[in-house]
Structures are given as structure tokens and as C-alpha cells.
């Protein structure tokens, strides 16, 4: 099975711009979660989508949003970028059964200048 894929792998934006990141889960996985990874804060949960619905949300401002499509692919959007949004954004997918084993993608490295 192909693993979780994320596009693009690297992105450079300037403050005030917006960005869209994409995640394709493992075939058959219906849950997609997003995490932000920074040296200072570590790995922080952004949100999770299941069957096109946001099921869980972390403590991030409303500038961070996401969606999931009927084929389980997911996108996350960050509007009005700030310097502090520079991070590695990880996507993970799972079958969402009785336990929560998540499979991670390689991440998208976002740099905000």
C-alpha cells in the first residue's frame, strides 16, 4: 500500500498570504489528522477529519482551517500568514477503528518570510 503523501513538500510564503496544503491518506483510511511541528512547541494537534466532517479541533486560531473530500483526501488552509506559522505540517491517517494507530506523511515544510 502506498503511504500517506503530502504536497507540496516545501513552501515559502510571505506574511499576510494564505496557503493550502494537501494530504492523501492511505487507501481505505477514513480519518485524517493534521499536526504542526515546531522546535519550540513540538507536535501540536490541529484538527481531525472523518467522513468529510471535522471531528476534533486543537487550540489554534480560526486562520487555520481544513476540509476533507469524499475520497478522504484532505486539505488545510492557513490564511493571513504570520512568521510564527513557519513549521513542519504533518498529516496522519488512520482507519479510525477501536484504537488510534496513525500513519504519518513526510510533512510540508512551510517558511513564512
Partner 1 sequence: AQRVTQPEKLLSVFKGAPVELKCNYSYSGSPELFWYVQYSRQRLQLLLRHISRESIKGFTADLNKGETSFHLKKPFAQEEDSAMYYCALSNAGGTSYGKLTFGQGTILTVHP
Determine if 99 is a binding residue for partner 1 (CB under 8 A). Answer: yes
Determine if 9 is a binding residue for partner 1 (CB under 8 A). Answer: no
**Grid coordinates 503530502 are at which residue?**
6
CB of 108 to partner 1, least distance (A): 12
Determine if 33 is a binding residue for partner 1 (CB under 8 A). Answer: yes
Determine if 60 is a binding residue for partner 1 (CB under 8 A). Answer: no
Q: Are the CB atoms for 26 and 14 separated by under 8 Å?
A: no
By CB under 8 A, name the one of 7, 38, 51, 56 that touches partner 1.
56
Binding site for partner 1 (CB under 8 A): 3, 31-33, 35, 42-45, 48-50, 55-56, 58, 90, 92, 94, 96, 98-107
Amino acid at each position: 500500500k502506498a503511504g500517506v503523501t503530502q504536497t507540496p513538500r516545501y513552501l515559502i510564503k510571505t506574511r499576510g498570504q494564505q496557503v493550502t496544503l494537501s494530504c492523501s491518506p492511505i487507501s481505505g483510511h477514513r480519518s485524517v489528522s493534521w499536526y504542526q511541528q515546531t522546535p519550540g512547541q513540538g507536535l501540536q494537534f490541529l484538527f481531525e477529519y472523518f467522513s468529510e466532517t471535522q471531528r476534533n479541533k486543537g487550540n489554534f486560531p480560526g486562520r487555520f482551517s481544513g476540509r476533507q473530500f469524499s475520497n478522504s483526501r484532505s486539505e488545510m488552509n492557513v490564511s493571513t500568514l504570520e512568521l510564527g506559522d513557519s513549521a513542519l505540517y504533518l498529516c496522519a491517517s488512520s482507519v479510525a477503528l477501536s484504537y488510534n494507530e496513525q500513519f504519518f506523511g513526510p510533512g510540508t515544510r512551510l517558511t513564512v518570510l
